[in-house]
Amino acid sequence: MKLKKQARRDSIKKEIERNPFITDLDLSEKFDVSIQTIRLDRTNLNIPELRKRIKNVAKENHDRIRSIDGSEIIGDVINVEPDKHAVSIINIGEDSVFSRNLIARGHVLFAQANSLCVALIHKPVVLTKESNIKFIKTVKLNDIVTAEAQVVEYKEKYYIIEVKSYVKEQQVFGGTFKMYYTSEDEING
């Protein structure tokens, strides 16, 4: 049964508050209305599109990142607890896929995971020492990939970080990264 306009708008607002990264397509399927109706409802509710919602959350997290400039991160960091865990989102656009088959280029998924590992560590200089990665499932144009990084081990000068990337609930990428950290003085002097 479809909701009346105001009830639907109230429900959309609650759904976006619960999950600010839900897509218009997911909302249209959930409420059994067109994407255009969802866009009109969001506009009426003064709720920005997904890309702006992600950018707003990412901007809030940039101040908590010490090892890399926010503009150098591949994807948008939407949650970071320094030296513990972090989450980023990337929308796979036309510049991230092969033109013949619209499948995401592997280096995009790797770069998202790797830069998330760098952003996670709250040290002035962080470099990738080694990685062991696995591409699990094909990622396609317009997929939204969520990467989750978790510190699993900490040693003097190294962090071991596990990254898992998902499209919706399906894992598409996984990897373990050994990240080296140092001070700028050690690099320069």
Q: Which helix (H) or strand (E) holds 67?
A: none
Give pLDDT tens digits for 101-128: 999 999 999 999 999 999 899 888 899 9
Residues β-bridged to residue 149: 86, 163
Rounded to two decimals, the pTM is 0.73
What's the CATH number for 5-47? Answer: 1.10.10.10
Nearest of 78, 50, 52 to residue 65 by alpha carbon: 78
Q: What is the pLDDT of residue 188?
A: 57
DSSP assignment, residue 33? S
**Domain made up of 63-186: CATH architecture:** Roll (3.10)
**CB within 8 A of 3, min separation 6: which ones?**
11, 31
**pLDDT band at residue 66, thresholds of 50, 70 and 90?**
low
Domain locations in the chain as residue ranges: 5-47, 63-186
Can you say how many angstroms the Cα of residue 15 is from the centroid of all Cα atoms in its chain?
A: 19
